[in-house]
């Protein structure tokens, strides 16, 4: 049996996993929700670096790896590329295109946390949609700022920070309400691409608010790349019928 290993942790990956038959494996790092309603096997936790992944690919008789991790999960994508090369396993990847600035957008790119802090220095009410990273800096919030942090973590806030534990998709009406309630004057975002979380960019555009955008990491080439989950799922269904 030529088995598939699907690397996940995104909505795209879950959409593909829903079409995977029982013999195949959906893999999660273990930070988020683990679905309990899939036909395929689900494994949770790291492989132990490139060596561990090479061992896994050989032990589990994997013939195809589909990397559908988040565009900022660069380490897992690099490990997948290296391990597939060593183990001579085919690698496919879902590489969601980055959002592109539209007329009226005021995007300010930065490569790291330090750059973020510098770029939001003149603002009072930033909205962070970067994941958990701001949680490590709650004690560093300048006196004139109040942070709103949206991430997948029910972390306590403090007198200068509200934490919203919420998972997309987010729509325009909901984002407008959040911007109003939290009096947001700047957004800090990853350039995740896709529809699920792009409404915040439209709200920033209509209100003339800047977006501090964390630069995307470089990702390795795959043997075959897809822009979205639907085309990857269709190709995978075809691949499965040819095995």
**Nearest to ligand NAP of 47, 92 (CB atom):** 47
Helix (H) or strand (E) holding 148: strand 147-151
Q: Sketch the per residue contact string, 111 through 150, with ligand NAP: x for CB under 6 A, - otherwise.
A: --------------------x-------------------
Distances (CA, A) of 17 to 39, 74, 75, 232: 8, 21, 21, 11
| N-terminal to C-terminal alpha carbon distance within the chain | 8
CA distance 40 to 26: 7
Q: Which of the residues 192 through 211 are near ligand NAP (CB under 6 A)? A: none
**Does 38 interact with ligand NAP (rule: CB under 6 A)?**
no
Minimum distance, C-beta of residue 128 to ligand NAP, in the bound complex (Å) = 12
DSSP 8-state code for residue 1: -
**Does 81 interact with ligand NAP (rule: CB under 6 A)?**
no
3-state secondary structure of 52: helix
Q: Sketch the per residue contact string, 40 through 59, with ligand NAP: x for CB under 6 A, - otherwise.
A: ------xxxx--xx------
Size of the site for ligand NAP (CB under 6 A): 24
Q: Which residues contact 37 (CB under 8 A, 6 or more apart)?
A: none
Strands 161-165 and 147-151: parallel
Structure token digits, residue 128: 């962070």
**Nearest to ligand NAP of 21, 48 (CB atom):** 48
**Does 28 interact with ligand NAP (rule: CB under 6 A)?**
yes
**Nearest to ligand NAP of 16, 28 (CB atom):** 28
For ligand NAP, the binding residues (CB under 6 A) are 7-10, 27-29, 31, 46-49, 52-53, 69-70, 72-76, 79, 131, 190
């Amino acid at each position: 049996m030529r088995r598939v290993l699907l690397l996940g942790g995104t909505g795209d990956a879950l959409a593909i996993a829903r079409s995977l038959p029982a013999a195949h494996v959906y893999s999660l790092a273990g930070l988020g929700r683990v679905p309990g309603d899939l036909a395929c096997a689900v494994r949770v936790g790291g492989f132990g670096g490139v060596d561990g992944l090479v061992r896994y690919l050989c032990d589990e008789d994997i013939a195809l790896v589909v990397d559908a991790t988040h565009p900022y999960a660069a380490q897992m994508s690099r490990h997948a590329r290296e391990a597939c090369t060593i183990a001579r396993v085919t690698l496919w990847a879902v590489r969601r295109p980055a959002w592109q600035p539209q007329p009226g957008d005021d995007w300010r790119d930065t490569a790291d946390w330090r750059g973020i802090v510098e770029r939001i220095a003149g603002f009072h009410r930033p909205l962070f949609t970067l994941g958990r990273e701001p949680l490590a800096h709650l004690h560093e919030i300048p006196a004139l700022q109040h942070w709103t942090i949206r991430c997948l973590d029910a972390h306590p806030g403090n007198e200068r920070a509200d934490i919203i534990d919420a998972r997309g998709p987010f729509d325009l009406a909901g984002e407008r309400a959040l911007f109003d309630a939290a009096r947001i004057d700047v957004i800090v975002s990853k350039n995740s691409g896709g529809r699920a979380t792009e409404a915040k960019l439209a709200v920033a555009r209509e209100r003339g608010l800047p977006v501090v955008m964390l630069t995307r990491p470089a990702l390795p080439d795959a043997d075959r790349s897809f822009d979205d989950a639907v085309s990857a799922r269709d190709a995978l269904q075809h691949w499965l019928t040819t095995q």
